[in-house]
Amino acid sequence: MTLDFDEGDELRALRAAVADLGSRYGQEYFLAQARSGGRTDALWSEVGKAGFLGVNIPEEHGGGGRGLLELSIVLEELGAAGCPLLMMVVSPAICGTVITRYGTPEQKDRWLPGIADGSVTMAFAITEPDAGSNSHEISTIARRDGEEWVLSGRKVWISGVDQADALLVVGRLADGPPGTLRPALFVVPTGAPGLTAHPIPMEIVSPERQFSLFLDDVRLPADALVGHPDQGIAQLFAGLNPERVMAAAYSLGVARLAMRKATAYAREREVWGTPIGAHQGLAHPLAACQVEIELARLMTQKAAWLIDTGREAGSAANSAKYAAAEAAARTVDQAIQTHGGNGLSQEYGVAALLAMSRVSRIAPVSREMILSFVAQHDLQLPRSY
C-alpha cells in the first residue's frame, strides 16, 4: 500500500469553502457573541445548511456520507477563521457517531437529519463531580420501572445545554454487579421533567457555556436507550475516540489563528526600522510552534483515518489530542509574547485565546491521563491507577 499525504482536490475544496464561510463571521463576531451573552446560532445554522455539520452522517439520514476526517477539517477551518464551534465536538462527532452506529432505525430517523443540518443539537453528559476521568465511578443510575427507564444523578462540565434539544446521557445500570461499570446511553430531551441545568461561571471567553446537571428521577420511554444494555463500553468508546480527534481539530484551529495573528504582527511591527519578525528571538519560537502544529495535524489526520476505516484508534486519537493541545497552548503563549503589551488588549484578540488554549490541555481528557494511557498501552508499562 502506498502512503499518500496529498489531501486531494475534494478535501482542499472543503477547506476552502469552510474557511470562506468562517471568514464571513470571523473572530469579531465570535467574541462579540461571547461577551454579550449571545450565541453563535446564526453561524451554526449556516454551517448546517451548507452541509458541513453533517459530513460524517450517512446520506440516507441527510448527511454527506463521509467521515470524521472531513468533520475534523470543518472544525479546524472554522477555528482558524476565529470561530471554533465547540459543539461540533459534541453533537455531530460524539452523538452523531454513537447514534449512527448503535441507534435503532427510529432513533436514526428522529435525530440524525437534524444533527446533520444543524436544526437539532445534542449535548453529551458523562462527567460527574466525584468521578472526573474515572468513568468507573459514575454514579448516575438508570433503573427500569415497568416499560420506562428512570435516571437519577448529577453531571458537571456539560457543554452547550442551553443550545441543545436533547442530551446523550451516560449512566450505569442499576442491576450491574457491585464494583463493575455497566454503562448505558440514553437520549434525554432537555425539557424532560426532573432535569435541571445550572450554568457554571467561567473565565473563558466563549459563547458556548458549561453547565451542572441534576437528574431527579427523570422518566424516559423504553426507546430512549441507545444500543444494547450489555454493550455499553463499546458504544461509549465509539464516541470518545471521535471526541479526542475533534478536540485536536479544535486546538489546531485555535493554534493556526494565533499563528496567523502573530506572524502578521511580526511582519508589520517595526522597531528601529526593522520588522520584529526578522529577529531570531521571535522568529525561532514561532517557527518551532509551526512545526508542532504541522506534526499535530498529521497525527489528527491519521487518527481520523483510522476511525473512518474501522481500525483501532485509541492511541492515535489520544496522541493527536495531546499534540494539538500542546501546540495550541505554546502557540497562543508565543503569539501573546510576540505582540508584547498589545497581546493583552482586546483589540488584537490574542489574549482571548489564552484560556481557550489552556482548557485544551484539560478537556475532554487531561494531558496526564493521556500520558498514562500511552505509557500503559503503547509502552506496556504497569498501570498507574
CATH number, residue 299: 1.20.140.10
Same structural domain, 252 and 337: yes
Domains in the chain, number:
3
Residue 158 phi/psi, 5-degree rounding, is -100, 120
Q: Is 262 left (phi over 0), alpha (psi -120 to 50) or beta?
A: alpha
Instruction: For residues 309 and 359, state if they share a domain.
Output: yes
Flag whether 337 is in a domain: yes
**C-alpha distance from residue 230 to each of 45, 98, 173 (Å):** 36, 15, 9
**Residue 175 confidence class, pLDDT cut points 50, 70, 90:** confident
DSSP 86: T
Confidence of residue 290 (pLDDT cuts 50, 70, 90): very high
Mean pLDDT across the chain, nearest whole number? Answer: 95
Whether 158 is covered by a domain: the verdict is yes
Domain containing 170 — which CATH number? 2.40.110.10
CA-to-CA distance for 365 and 133, rounded, in angstroms?
7
- Shared domain for 215 and 246, answered yes or no, is no
pLDDT score, position 180: 66
371 Cβ neighbours under 8 A, 6+ residues apart: 322
Omega of the bond leading into 364 within 30 degrees of 0 (cis): yes
Q: What percent of the chain has pLDDT over 70?
A: 97
Last-in-domain residue among 120, 137, 168: 120
Specify whether 95 is located in the same domain as 148. no
Residue 284 lies in a domain: yes
Residue 133 in this model has a pLDDT that exceeds 70: no
Which sign, positive or negative, has the C-alpha torsion 219, 221, 226, 229? positive
Looking at the structure, tell me whether residues 116 and 14 fall in a common domain.
yes
Co-location of 270 and 201 in the same domain: no
Confidence at residue 162, expressed as pLDDT on a 0 to 100 scale: 96
Q: pLDDT grade, residue 177 (50/70/90)?
A: low
Confidence of residue 230 (pLDDT cuts 50, 70, 90): confident
* pLDDT score, position 229: 83
Q: Are residues 149 and 194 in the same domain?
A: yes
Quick check: 1 pLDDT over 60?
no
The C-alpha cell that represents 182 in the structure block = 455497566
Could you tell me if residue 51 is inside a domain?
yes
74, 102, 120 — which closes off a domain?
A: 120
**What digits encode the pLDDT tens for the residues 354-364?**
999 999 999 99
Instruction: Flag whether 383 is in a domain.
Output: no
The verdict on 193 and 267 lying in the same domain is no
Q: Do 367 and 240 share a structural domain?
A: yes
Q: Tens of pLDDT along 61-70? A: 999 999 999 9
Where are the alpha helices (H) located in the chain, listed in sequence order? Answer: 8-23, 26-36, 41-49, 68-80, 87-88, 96-102, 105-117, 232-268, 280-308, 314-339, 352-359, 367-377
Are 109 and 130 within one domain? no
Domain limits at 132? Answer: 124-229
248 and 284 share one domain: yes
Residue 179: the pLDDT is: 58
Which of 167, 202, 229 is a domain's end point? 229
Domain assignment present for 325? yes
| pLDDT value of position 174 | 87
Residue 384 in any domain: the answer is no
Decide if pLDDT at 275 tops 60.
Answer: yes
For strands 195-199 and 141-145, give the pairing: unpaired
- Assess whether 224 and 270 both reside in one domain: no
Give the CATH number of the domain where residue 18 resides: 1.10.540.10
Q: What confidence score (pLDDT) does residue 138 get? A: 86
Under DSSP, is residue 166 helix (H, G, I), strand (E, B) or coil? strand
Q: Classify residue 306: in a domain, yes or no.
A: yes
In the chain, helix, strand, coil percent, each to 5?
55, 15, 30
C-alpha cell at 204: 473563558
Q: What is the mean pLDDT of residues 192-204?
A: 96
The distance in angstroms from the start CA to the end CA of the chain is 39
Dihedrals phi, psi of 240, to nearest 5 degrees: -75, -35
pTM of the predicted structure, to 2 decimals? 0.95
Least-confidence region, from 24-33, 94-103, 125-134, 242-251: 125-134
